[in-house]
């Protein structure tokens, strides 16, 4: 996460999507670029990502700097797999704080992020709010939707997620935090000091640059040094291959695969992962599933691509 003060002329075209009628306070706009999402979109891939960039400027008519950036997302219905309801008013919804950042004082800022999208059918509305020293705010919003033809019939939920790992020369904050039921892979700033988000997380992706080893760990892994409230997800190793993974097509078969698994050498961590490896898990809610390592890479952001199958509640 990085803020920077920038000149307007240095930015690509600024999108002119709807914003509330101009009043005194910050101005917020989406930055337009072929690689960026600036308008409502219908998603085609579950657990995909979108990249957005906003530009915010303090009110030019007074001396009130920008002091807070808040990004939230509303899910309709909730992002985890549930049985669909024909009555929209009865569908449970959820709000998540993606980023709440303070501690800066700027006349203008730009912020770019690559955000996870839902793996289940429904809509999500991202809201970007920038506050100034007088608590006035400027706002932009972005609506995304996903329709899955198997939403009403599938007996298990499936998705493919890409976990990335980035570091700088001075920090080691590249961990990705995976919520298995929802299929959301959150960056560190989305869980730091946000207990509601922490409670969703089942697995943490780490990459050891010294050994070029990718690992997945439970939140209870002592090496992570996470002082979070308990969430009793469990993982087990299996001897399953890709054919076995594809054949696990019912909740009963997923639970059987977990029951037949064995503990890892360190029960809270997979140790170095290998391509094609299949591990079994049981979430804190008692839902069993399988995770298959589809691809490993040591380039750039160290992407780890995983396929997940999990029973539906």
Per DSSP, the residues of 261-301 read -B--SBTTB--S--TT-EEEEE-TTS-EEEEEEEEE--STT
Residue 275 has a CB neighbour count (10 Å cut-off) of: 11
Residue 17 resides in a domain: no
Residue 11 resides in a domain: no
According to the model, what pLDDT value does residue 18 have? 47
> Any idea what the CATH number is for the domain that residue 96 is in?
2.60.40.2410
Dump pLDDT digits (tens) for 70-98: 999 999 999 998 766 666 667 899 999 99
User: Last residue of a domain, which of 146, 173, 205?
Assistant: 146
Judge if 289 and 142 occupy the same domain: no
Terminus-to-terminus CA distance in the chain, angstroms? Answer: 35
> Are 276 and 256 a contacting pair, CB within 8 Å?
no
Residue 2 resides in a domain: no
State mean pLDDT over 183-200. Answer: 95
Question: Of 151-155, 178-182, 209-213, 301-305, where does the model show the most confidence?
Answer: 178-182
Residue 21 resides in a domain: no
Judge if 175 and 59 occupy the same domain: no
Residue 10 resides in a domain: no
User: Last residue of a domain, which of 103, 125, 146?
Assistant: 146
Judge if 197 and 273 occupy the same domain: yes
- Rounded-to-integer distance, Cα 60 and Cα 69, Å: 18
Judge if 120 and 32 occupy the same domain: yes
User: Last residue of a domain, which of 146, 179, 205?
Assistant: 146
> Are 28 and 138 a contacting pair, CB within 8 Å?
yes
- Rounded-to-integer distance, Cα 178 and Cα 203, Å: 5
Q: Which two tokens stand for residue 1?
A: 């996460």
Beta bridge partners of 310: 157, 289
Phi and psi at residue 253, in whole multiples of 5°? -70, -35
Judge if 166 and 300 occupy the same domain: yes
> Are 182 and 200 a contacting pair, CB within 8 Å?
yes
Provide the residue range defining the domain that includes 94: 26-146
Strands 184-186 and 156-163: unpaired
Q: Which two tokens stand for residue 312?
A: 């539906």
Residue 18 resides in a domain: no
According to the model, what pLDDT value does residue 36 have? 96
Judge if 63 and 123 occupy the same domain: yes
> Are 181 and 287 a contacting pair, CB within 8 Å?
yes
- In this predicted model, which residue has the larger pLDDT, 176 or 89? 176
Q: Is 225 helix (H, G, I), strand (E, B) or coil?
A: coil
Q: Is the pLDDT of residue 3 over 80?
A: no
Judge if 108 and 135 occupy the same domain: yes
Confidence of residue 169 (pLDDT cuts 50, 70, 90): very low
Residue 279 resides in a domain: yes
Number of residues in the chain:
313
Q: Which two tokens stand for residue 9?
A: 């002329």
Judge if 213 and 136 occupy the same domain: no
Judge if 241 and 272 occupy the same domain: yes
Confidence of residue 29 (pLDDT cuts 50, 70, 90): very high
Judge if 60 and 117 occupy the same domain: yes
Q: Which two tokens stand for residue 56?
A: 């915010």
According to the model, what pLDDT value does residue 209 have? 80
- Rounded-to-integer distance, Cα 312 and Cα 150, Å: 12
- Rounded-to-integer distance, Cα 279 and Cα 267, Å: 12
According to the model, what pLDDT value does residue 22 have? 61
Q: Which two tokens stand for residue 59?
A: 């009110």
* Kind plus residue range of the DSSP H or E element containing 52: strand 49-57
According to the model, what pLDDT value does residue 83 have? 67
State mean pLDDT over 184-204. Answer: 96
Count of domains observed in the chain = 2
In angstroms, the Cα distances linking 111 to 6, 176, 243 are 11, 19, 43
Judge if 287 and 173 occupy the same domain: yes
Beta bridge partners of 304: 163, 296
Judge if 177 and 129 occupy the same domain: no
Residue 15 resides in a domain: no
Confidence of residue 5 (pLDDT cuts 50, 70, 90): very low
């Amino acid at each position: 996460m990085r803020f920077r003060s920038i000149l307007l002329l240095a930015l690509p075209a600024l999108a002119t999507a709807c914003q509330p009628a101009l009043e005194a306070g910050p101005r917020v706009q989406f930055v337009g670029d072929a690689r960026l999402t600036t308008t409502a979109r219908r998603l085609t891939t579950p657990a995909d990502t979108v990249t957005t960039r906003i530009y915010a400027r303090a009110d030019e008519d007074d001396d009130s700097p920008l002091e807070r950036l808040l990004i939230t997302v509303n899910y309709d219905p909730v992002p985890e797999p549930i049985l669909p309801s024909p009555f929209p008013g009865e569908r449970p919804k959820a709000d998540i704080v993606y980023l709440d950042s303070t501690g800066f004082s700027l006349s203008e800022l730009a912020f770019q992020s690559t955000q996870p999208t839902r793996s289940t059918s429904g809509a999500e509305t991202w809201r970007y709010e920038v506050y100034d020293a007088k608590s006035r705010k400027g706002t932009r919003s972005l609506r995304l939707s996903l329709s899955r033809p198997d939403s009403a019939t599938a007996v298990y939920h499936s998705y493919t997620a890409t976990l990335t790992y980035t570091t700088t020369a001075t920090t080691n904050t590249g961990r990705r935090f995976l919520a298995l039921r929802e299929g959301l892979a959150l960056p560190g700033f989305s869980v730091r000091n946000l207990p509601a988000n922490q409670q969703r997380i089942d697995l943490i992706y780490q990459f050891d640059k010294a050994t070029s080893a990718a690992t997945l760990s439970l939140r209870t892994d002592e090496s992570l040094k996470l002082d979070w409230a308990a969430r009793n997800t469990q993982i087990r190793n299996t001897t399953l291959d890709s054919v076995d993974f594809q054949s696990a097509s019912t909740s009963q078969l997923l639970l059987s695969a977990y029951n037949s698994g064995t503990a890892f050498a360190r029960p809270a961590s997979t140790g170095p992962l290998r391509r094609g490896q299949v591990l079994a898990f049981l979430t804190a809610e008692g839902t069993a599933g399988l995770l298959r390592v589809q691809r490993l890479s040591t380039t750039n952001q160290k992407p780890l691509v995983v396929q997940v199958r999990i029973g539906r509640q």
